[in-house]
Structure 1
Amino acid sequence: MLKTKCLAASAIAALLSSTVVVLANDVVIVGGRVIDPETGLDAIRNVAIEGDKIVAISEFPLEGDVVIDATGHVVSPGFIDLHAHGQNIGDYRMQVTQGVTTSLELESGVLPIADWYDAQATKNLPVNYGAAAGWTFGRIATFTETDPLATAAYFQDAQSHNHWKMEIASPEQSERILALVEQGLKEGALGIGINAGYAPGYGQKEYFALAELAHDYHVPTFTHVRYASNTEPQSSFEAIKELIANAAITGAHMHLCHINSTSLSDIRTTLALVEEAQAKGINITTEAYPYGAANTVVGAAMFSGPDWRERMDSTANNFQLGADRMTEEQLADYQANNPGTFITWHFLDENNPENLALLDLSVTHPSTVIASDAVFWSYFDGNGQVQNYEGDEWPLPDNVFSHPRSAGTFSKVLRSYVRERGLLSLSEAIQKMSLMPAQTLEDSVPQMRNKGRVQVGMDADIVVFDPATIADLATFANANQPTVGVQTVLVNGGFSVRDGELVLDAPYGRPIRNAVTK
């Protein structure tokens, strides 16, 4: 009798293997190489989507109202960018064309949080979005005795003032700064953005209080540490040690932003410091982007003082505005008259093998998440002044410029680090760009537990790309060149990229907010 049952089961299995066993779905992706870093899946599979969820992953045929032929392509979780300053429609479009499905402003953050989310909700956005509560916005508002505005211009205009950057807050000022940040957390901020490199004069007690606040609300901090210097005192090593100390004492999860540009050429020492902290159970995470150049405001506090050139191994020639390197005269003029202007700062030379090795170390280290630090698209107006581009034209106007990381971070990893140089496996790269960012947030943001994975029940945030052709085209001379090789991007089950073309006004992006209260 047992033998008869086994034979019957075998016959049923054989029948199922040759027939369609799943009813028609909204979308089916067929014949692609499905990679899910969490489960280790790396095989040819078919993926079915209903509404905004993945409902089936199968070796067997699946039916769908819309069928995507992914033969020869990779089917991956959508990429999650924890560090993207550009939050306008043009910025999101450049992100989604390289496979980004969630774009978050966590390092700088904004305030007021509710105002920012309300404004984003009025737009048709092609990616998921979210922000941290911006400590620098609270500091600017307190020292200038204004109410914060959730705009990039508010931060840029404040660059002409030094008190919020360099002065210790009084007890009354500290109380207001913390109250503004805490209000942001109550309104759903994803953590506390601590852009300390732009206000390095804050006190030790203020930073410690922010870490305690983050621990109380069970959210991370996202810190651009206060110093960037190869030499001591006030070195990159010292600044990262300060972050680790606060995490160790308070128990807060503290995320170290762009360890590559923060550490300059001292990356081996700072990575070893992070490794040791993690080995001791201190809740530290970190990130890197695959470029030897940063982008920042020309009036940033780090570019001040008589010895900044020596400490940062830079001169005006390391700064690029538009397509050209700056002269000392231009640098002095912009710092005096237009300090909020964004410039590209070349801190490592990728054509130098020793410099490239330092960059590679930060990108390939097992602990680092890939995050772009994408910045605004800008243009010169009729008066020769630099303005942020906030329009909705696509392709972007020919005259706009930015850092190439705003258009090519994730595709550069897949092109250079995976295909061309073999420094990362495809699964390792995808893990760094999808699963690890989701895991960085998921303890305090339940939405992220359903992202960064291709599994049944997960959100249908998916990118389909050709591993043989995906490539970043953006350069420092011309960053306004979208990625090639991405066939499809689904955000919550809707097409944001279809047949290799951006879907204009795709409305599928949703807000990402914390769901944890004190």
Structure 2
Amino acid sequence: MYRTFVSSIFVAIATTCLAQDYDIVITNGRVIDPETGLDAIRNLGINGSEIAAISEYAMEGSVEIDATDLVLAPGFIDLHAHGMNLGDMRMQAMQGVTTVLELESGILPIADWYAEMERRQTPLNYGASAAWTFGRIAAFTGEGPVAELSYFQDAQRFDDWKTQIADPLRMAELLDLVEQGLKEGALGIGVNAGYAPGYGQKEYFALANMAAGYGVATYTHVRYASNLEPQGSFEAIKELIANAALTGAHMHICHINSSSLEDIHATLDLVERAQAQGINVTVEAYPYGAANTVVGAAMFSGDGWRERMSSTAQNFQLGADRMTEQELADYQDNEPGTFVTWHFLDENDPDALALLDASVTHPAVMIASDAVFWSYFDESGAVLNYEGSDWPLPDNVFSHPRSAGAFTKILRSYVRERGLLSLEEAIRKMSLMPAQTLEEFVPQMRKKGRLQVGMDADIVVFDPTTVSDLATYENANQPAKGVHTVLVNGSLVVENGELKIDADSGQPIRRELER
């Protein structure tokens, strides 16, 4: 009798707690949490910016979202996103991304960049690393740095910062600039080494040592991308692993797919061996056989670069069209900061596709888009960054398809159509793994990448039977479909598959400032 009475009290209390009103309730969805392994039909209650309840029992909320036959997952976290304008973020939101971070290239000065971002409308969470390339450009040119992407683009007309070893004074100056970025809250050090491969061994070691000293990561676009030796992809990955082992730094390899080209099995073997020995190396890839880069990049210069990269002008695409040798030469000479699409693997070739798949499906590799800004041609034919607020984006705006579809391509191609990844594994690669990469030194990330009570309400709800990327190389300006709902810090950014134009709930992701 007593036991029955006590049990009744507990049931009544539980029922009362679950019946309380929440700000938002998502009902009857398949909840997948990659950390605990939960994969079940549940109801989810949100109060403010946090997940307040996950239960089999009914809930009521001020806003109720029916997720029957839909999947609830942690919002996707993109560690490698260059596009940070409003249009860029909106395209990312439509594919379920809730946090975009500029880590490979980074930016300087960091304080200026965060201050500017706080003045903007930001539907997604955002953050950046301290940019080694910006520090190097400033040390060699005596100008800047300026916290704008155009600073990096304009510097493509200068060669010294790309090709020369820094003397002691320049080395000290560029390292001071990077360190100042860390003191201002940068999320580590962005080492875009492929754009300045002439740096010395001591400089890269110093960057890794600085990262270890501050307890942060480096995010490296490795020095070389080449199928041939010397100065091949294998050598570049080996250099990074050596610095991680010598300094103890956490060193992250950006887009190992495009950095490795046809040598992906050898470079993945290096990563496996390093991780097995406890060397703190993490890895990302994007699911495309084409990169987006400036046409004047150092890797597309010098004797024999076509042989090393297995490329001709036909591997380069500007807008919807492949380039001719004359066009390539003209842009390299006169507009070297122009971003182009570079097809390093032909996805229509089964052997090339198998190489790409090896990088995407490897258990140690997380997904990051390398999304680039949206652009347009002005009246003179120059390519300019699009910074407007129109939605949908104007018809004349273009980019790389990964900017609109990297994460949904994983769900469509790798999960649903080809069965190369389980749904649970794909979600882990796009949410928990990126969060875990940063959480040791960015405490905010400990509450992201999970669907658990007390975690941030960064959530994507999608239809696993229809979720798809629509963007192509010829027409990247096509938002993804099949994403039903996106919440960022508990606020709706996508509702019933439609973007909320006034969404502005993104928050800065930033380390604590040094005092």
Residue 365 of structure 1 and its aligned partner are, at CA, apart by 0.4
Q: Whole-Å Cα distance in 2 between the matches of residues 67 and 505 of structure 1? A: 20
Q: What letter corresponds to residue 147 of structure 2 in structure 1?
A: A
In structure 2, the residue corresponding to 1:422 is in which secondary structure? coil
Q: Whole-Å Cα distance in 2 between the matches of residues 240 and 7 of structure 1? A: 65
In structure 2, the residue corresponding to 1:330 is in which secondary structure? helix
What do residues 159-207 of structure 1 show as CA deviations (whole Å, max 9, x unaligned)? 0100000001010000010000000001110000000000000000000
Residue 370 of structure 1 and its aligned partner are, at CA, apart by 0.3
Determine the structure 2 residue equivalent to 1:365: 362
Q: Whole-Å Cα distance in 2 between the matches of residues 477 and 423 of structure 1? A: 26
For 1:61, which of 58, 62, 73 is the aligned residue?
58
Is the Cα contact below 8 Å between 2:188 and 2:211 reproduced in 1?
A: yes
What do residues 450-484 of structure 1 show as CA deviations (whole Å, max 9, x unaligned)? 00000000000001111111000000010000000
The 3 A distance-change label for structure 1 pair 64 and 204 is: same
1:33 corresponds to 2:30: yes
Determine the structure 2 residue equivalent to 1:499: 496
Residue 52 of structure 1 and its aligned partner are, at CA, apart by 0.3
Determine the structure 2 residue equivalent to 1:139: 136
Q: Whole-Å Cα distance in 1 between the matches of residues 21 and 440 of structure 2? A: 35
Residue 22 of structure 1 and its aligned partner are, at CA, apart by 3.6
Q: Whole-Å Cα distance in 1 between the matches of residues 138 and 14 of structure 2? A: 64
Q: What letter corresponds to residue 60 of structure 2 in structure 1?
A: E
Q: Whole-Å Cα distance in 2 between the matches of residues 382 and 415 of structure 1? A: 38
Q: What letter corresponds to residue 499 of structure 2 in structure 1?
A: L
Determine the structure 1 residue equivalent to 2:407: 410
Q: Whole-Å Cα distance in 1 between the matches of residues 117 and 243 of structure 2? A: 33
Q: What letter corresponds to residue 341 of structure 2 in structure 1?
A: T
Q: What letter corresponds to residue 308 of structure 2 in structure 1?
A: R
Give the paired residue count: 515
Is the Cα contact below 8 Å between 1:469 and 1:485 reproduced in 2?
A: yes
Is the Cα contact below 8 Å between 1:288 and 1:363 reproduced in 2?
A: yes
Is the Cα contact below 8 Å between 1:445 and 1:516 reproduced in 2?
A: no
| Root mean square deviation of aligned Cα | 1.3
Determine the structure 2 residue equivalent to 1:475: 472
Determine the structure 1 residue equivalent to 2:287: 290
Is the Cα contact below 8 Å between 2:28 and 2:41 reproduced in 1?
A: yes
Q: Which runs of structure 2 are paired with 1:118-129 in the superposition (5 Å)?
A: 118-129=115-126
Is the Cα contact below 8 Å between 2:184 and 2:514 reproduced in 1?
A: no
For 1:214, which of 201, 211, 219 is the aligned residue?
211
1:181 corresponds to 2:178: yes
For 1:318, which of 315, 318, 321 is the aligned residue?
315
In structure 1, the residue corresponding to 2:40 is in which secondary structure? strand
Is the Cα contact below 8 Å between 1:287 and 1:370 reproduced in 2?
A: yes
Residue 13 of structure 1 and its aligned partner are, at CA, apart by 6.5
In structure 2, the residue corresponding to 1:57 is in which secondary structure? strand
Determine the structure 2 residue equivalent to 1:78: 75
Is the Cα contact below 8 Å between 2:26 and 2:65 reproduced in 1?
A: yes
For 1:105, which of 102, 106, 109 is the aligned residue?
102
Determine the structure 2 residue equivalent to 1:228: 225
Residue 306 of structure 1 and its aligned partner are, at CA, apart by 1.2
Q: What letter corresponds to residue 325 of structure 2 in structure 1?
A: E
Determine the structure 1 residue equivalent to 2:445: 448
In the superposition, the TM-score normalised over structure 2's length comes to 0.98
Is the Cα contact below 8 Å between 2:34 and 2:427 reproduced in 1?
A: yes
Is the Cα contact below 8 Å between 1:20 and 1:60 reproduced in 2?
A: no
Is the Cα contact below 8 Å between 1:247 and 1:282 reproduced in 2?
A: yes
Q: Which runs of structure 2 are paired with 1:16-27 in the superposition (5 Å)?
A: 21-27=18-24
Where does the alignment leave 5 or more consecutive residues of structure 2 unmatched? none
For 1:438, which of 435, 438, 442 is the aligned residue?
435
Residue 376 of structure 1 and its aligned partner are, at CA, apart by 1.2
In structure 2, the residue corresponding to 1:266 is in which secondary structure? helix
Seq. identity, %: 70
Q: Whole-Å Cα distance in 2 between the matches of residues 329 and 45 of structure 1? A: 59
In structure 1, the residue corresponding to 2:419 is in which secondary structure? coil
Q: Which runs of structure 2 are paired with 1:373-392 in the superposition (5 Å)?
A: 373-392=370-389
Residue 515 of structure 1 and its aligned partner are, at CA, apart by 2.7
What do residues 194-228 of structure 1 show as CA deviations (whole Å, max 9, x unaligned)? 00000000000000000011011111000000000
Q: What letter corresponds to residue 503 of structure 1 in structure 2?
A: K
1:463 corresponds to 2:490: no
Q: What letter corresponds to residue 400 of structure 1 in structure 2?
A: V
Q: Whole-Å Cα distance in 1 between the matches of residues 149 and 182 of structure 2? A: 20
Is the Cα contact below 8 Å between 2:184 and 2:513 reproduced in 1?
A: no
Is the Cα contact below 8 Å between 1:444 and 1:515 reproduced in 2?
A: no
What do residues 301-356 of structure 1 show as CA deviations (whole Å, max 9, x unaligned)? 00011101111111110000000001111111000000000000001111111111
Residue 8 of structure 1 and its aligned partner are, at CA, apart by 4.0
Determine the structure 2 residue equivalent to 1:344: 341
The 3 A distance-change label for structure 1 pair 112 and 20 is: closer
What do residues 234-254 of structure 1 show as CA deviations (whole Å, max 9, x unaligned)? 000000000000000000000
Q: Whole-Å Cα distance in 1 between the matches of residues 147 and 219 of structure 2? A: 18
Is the Cα contact below 8 Å between 1:415 and 1:470 reproduced in 2?
A: yes
1:419 corresponds to 2:416: yes
1:303 corresponds to 2:300: yes
Where does the alignment leave 5 or more consecutive residues of structure 1 unmatched? none
Determine the structure 2 residue equivalent to 1:354: 351
For 1:148, which of 140, 145, 148 is the aligned residue?
145
Residue 502 of structure 1 and its aligned partner are, at CA, apart by 0.6
Q: What letter corresponds to residue 440 of structure 1 in structure 2?
A: T
Q: Whole-Å Cα distance in 2 between the matches of residues 516 and 292 of structure 1? A: 39
Determine the structure 1 residue equivalent to 2:485: 488
In structure 2, the residue corresponding to 1:21 is in which secondary structure? helix
Residue 54 of structure 1 and its aligned partner are, at CA, apart by 0.4
In structure 1, the residue corresponding to 2:234 is in which secondary structure? helix
In the superposition, the TM-score normalised over structure 1's length comes to 0.98
